[in-house]
Amino acid sequence: MAQLIQSEFKPPWWLVSPHLQTIWPSLLRSHPLPDLRWERVELRDGDFIDLAWQDAEGPLVLLLHGLEGSLESHYATPLISALRSTGFRPLFMHFRGCSGEPNRLLRSYHSGATEDLSEIVEILRRRGEPPQAVVGVSLGGNLLLKYLGESDHDSDIKAAVAVSVPFNLKSAAMRLERGFSRIYGRHLLRKLLKSYSNKCRTRSIPGIEDYSSIRSIYEFDDRITSVQNGFRDAEDYYNRCSCAQYLQYITTPTLILHAQDDPFMQPDDVPGLQELGPGVSLELSNRGGHVGFVQGSLPWRPVYWLDYRIPAFLKHAFARD
């Protein structure tokens, strides 16, 4: 049964601001790289996706990153370590072109590319080691929820967690053009343009003329993302790929963790109980920023709440299964 939950997360006195919650882990959190085994998976269309395995015992948990994310993202390797230490076997999936090498094809990863997740899940299933849980962060959370809500897939996933999800992609893009959030928008746009430029140069792919004139993520999606991936324009891309419309169809036990002060989104975009499928628990906190959720009584002793909450939910879900 769908449910809304008031989160137990409370920010510390020294990190109440949503912007500090968002920026602190990105700039100050150490995230040493654990011993991982890399694997390149060849896709049906001739492209590739790079996986990073943590060799461990336990249920396989697939991790999906956010926009322009990778193993270098502040939440990635700490979450891998947290999952392993609580009895899970983590597997990190890089989206196309996000592992340090541009992908081969004109098409790119995007917020709604569930066909890539579906293909990876199917490949792992054929090997006899399907992921039993999936965790998606930000863009990866949108993709995960869309995947779970689609009716044309069949998976062995027993539980899922989505963190700081942009439920409405257009609204999120617009939010990143206002106020202090413009800083995040500009930062992400620079990363997108750098990746695009590198891909065009490395793969000899013809790019659009004067892409340096692009000034917003909306423009990037309108002129590049949509063209590369078969959408008419940004509006078509956002309309078809925003996960909000898929939530009502989710039956897999799924936890969505979201802060009402997330500076990447509008508070009005948070779905209501009537929009949630029977498998969805939406856990809301008043504070936490975007993929922040930092606690701790003292500034030099921060506690990263997601590293505890996510494994705890998965443990509970598997115990009930």
* Residues marked as catalytic: 138, 262, 290
CB distance 154 to 130 below 8 Å: no
CB distance 266 to 277 below 8 Å: no
Spatial distance between the Cα atoms of 245 and 112, rounded to a whole number of angstroms: 12
What DSSP letter does each residue of 177-199 carry, written as one string?
TSGGGHHHHHHHHHHHHHHHHHH
Starting at the edge strand found earlier in the chain, the sheet holding 60-64 runs 3-6, 280-285, 254-259, 159-163, 133-137, 60-64, 89-93, 48-53, 37-42
Closest CA to 3 of 254, 311, 320: 254
